[in-house]
Amino acid sequence: MKAPGDSLLSSPVLRRRVAELGKDISRRYQDKPLTVIGLMNGSIFFLVDLVRRLPIETQVECWRVQSYAGRASSGVLKGLEHCQAELKGRHAIIVDDILDTGLTLDAVQQHVRDLGAESVEICVLLRKKRRRTVKIRPRWVGFDIPDRFVVGYGLDDDGKYRGLNSIRALD
């Protein structure tokens, strides 16, 4: 079966960049208590590959939050009320697949602060080149991409294409 859409990022390119991100994050949090919070389901492949490159003491949380309905943001974040973790005295990194409007990451970042994290940073695999609804500045960005709908490496189109090993743009 032919992969859909246009190829944006190949599997080897993704692997190399995730390795670089892992090195940068590891240097910053060497000998510090770190919790990585992956936003599901989109970040699952990125989260797993990234965490494998982090210090052994890293704790991992997976939070299921959702603001998309089909290909568009609904503007309403669902599921955050169920997301809890013991973060007092720990540094936290929120890992997400894509920075689009910024609404999800803004709300999750505030929630992590409210849970008492010593510091909160954001790492996204993809950052769309577009105007944000809120001001979000991730510390780590895998790739800047055009404002197109993308699938693969965890990102989906109503449940399809999540398992592709590359990032592809659909029109």
Q: What residues are labeled active site?
A: 100
Give the phi and the psi of residue 16 in degrees, each rounded to 5.
-60, -45
Burial class (CB in 10 A: 0-12, 13-18, 19+), 138: buried
The residue with tokens 């032919």 is 2
Helices (H), 2-159: 11-28, 44-51, 103-114
112 in Cβ contact with 94 (< 8 Å): yes
